[in-house]
Structure 1
Amino acid sequence: MGHRGRLHDRASPPARRRGPSKGALAGEPDHHALGRSRGGLSTKIHLAADGRCRPLAFVLTPGQAGDAPAFPEVMARLRVPRPTGRPRTTPDTVLTDKAYSSRAIRTRLRQRGIRTVIPQPSDQAANRKRRGQLGGRPPAFDREAHKQRNTVERCINRLKQWSGLATRYDKTATIYLAGLHITAIFIWSPR
């Protein structure tokens, strides 16, 4: 007989042994930097490059993620090499496209003493003009300096020459990011 108040009419199933939980790896985002965009599942590579088309920092996000939210993380990972001494964490100038045009990004760069060359999107310019004097003056923009922004596009083209990076075969973002770093080593090494 069992304990008073408990009635067991059948045996309970045996306790199952469970191995480690099957979640994301340590440091791996739950989404594995995969997200839906127009072309299906994709990953967005946010990077900083130097003037010689060499990558300096990488951040991976899902394909549908915006560009501006990843900017602080890219800047946090940035290390600008020097001939001697420690790498600098503050570049002289940041050249970006319109996707990074926000008051928060401009303010953050200004506080760190970094020159910004970011074009203003037409909707932001129209909003500023609509507000009149309250809209403030337009942000400074050096058209000649902005022509150098193509170094980032050329850096991405050099990275994507490796077929494993152009078509993401890796399941986890950690392994894909490792592939980016290995490719960057080859780009940085003298030929």
Structure 2
Amino acid sequence: MTSPEAKGPKVPPSYPPRTPPPQKKPVEPPRPQPATKSADGMPVRTRPRMVVRNRRTAAHPFRADAWAPAKAVRQVLETVRGWGYPALDEEDLASAVRLLVTSAVADGGKRLSVHLGDQDRKVLVAVLSHTTGAPDHIVLGTVALLATVDSVGTDTGEDGRRMWAVLDGEPRRRPVRHAAAVSG
């Protein structure tokens, strides 16, 4: 009796061997962990994550495109109006958001996010570009010149550049100037 392999000439199969399908999404490499020590052995300070607690907050994510500043202004104004700031100068808020978002778009990332918070009748506007970019002191100086802006700032970390402005929601008392009586 002969074995089944010895019955005749060996013929290759008429179909290709089955191969596994390609992956739908490529495997993402692990994210880099921040170093705890530098090359010279000194500990490295890591930037703390931004934490806003015990107050109203809102977050608005956007694609970093040419339309992001207008969309951000519209959504931020709607959110802050819902919080009830009747004395807040909406023109200053819109200008601050527009300038900060435009600067974040210029960083060249794919996305950005606008985070809002309020406390003690002040509104925090923080814009994260989610990519590293150089600090733009011209933009920060322009935002700082707005009448209702109390403070501005920026820093850069592993999650990207963060810029913020704090706006005063209460009306400021401006000195009243009286015209001197002119006698003729």
Shorter-chain TM-score: what band?
A: under 0.3
Which structure has greater helix proportion?
1
TM-score of the two chains, using structure 1 as the length reference: 0.25
TM-score of the two chains, using structure 2 as the length reference: 0.25
When Rg is computed on C-alpha atoms for both structures, the one with the higher figure is 2
